[in-house]
Amino acid sequence: MKPLLLTVIFPLALVLPAYSGDSVAEDPAASVKSPYGVLSIVGDFQQNHLLLDGKRLELPGGDSEYASLSLIDKYSFGDRVTVLISDSQGASCQLYRFVTLGQKSHTITPAFGTCDDGPKISQDGEKISLQMRDKKGKKVRFLYSEGKVTQNGKVVR
């Protein structure tokens, strides 16, 4: 039985591409183009950096050296582009941030969330809502509006 198992696994290993060591920046899903520049993520797992036109952006709240970032979605609001990113500081907790790009400046919200990695995301005009559950199963709502995130009506800092 073992030789048959090896016969099945070994040919599969031959057709799988080898890891090339390329940075995440070469993945088209790791960048977002906007009229205000290209927002991208570079680096390896747990050591990602957020860049705007190749310049590193600092994440509010520290720990930017150990972030595992992903681009989730892009929203256009008049003269601004807002990008939702995930910020996983560890395998057991995925948080979120909004990055807003404008003609003269950019802003990044503090990380927010309940460690629920499957929020329900909806948009109403220039407001974006993320509904998720906390560790007790209770629903929590985060709302992005005018560059700020609120949790059940209170500004996230």
| pTM exceeding the 0.75 threshold for the entire prediction | yes
Q: Find tokens 């460690």 and name the residue.
A: 115
Q: Which of 150, 71, 141 is nearest to 109 (CA)?
A: 150
pLDDT in tens, 82-141: 999 998 866 778 899 999 999 999 999 999 999 988 899 999 999 999 999 999 999 999
* pLDDT, the chain, mean: 80
pLDDT in tens, 6-19: 333 333 333 333 32
Residue 25 has pLDDT above 50, yes or no: no
Q: Which of 135, 84, 91, 90 is nearest to 108 (CA)?
A: 84
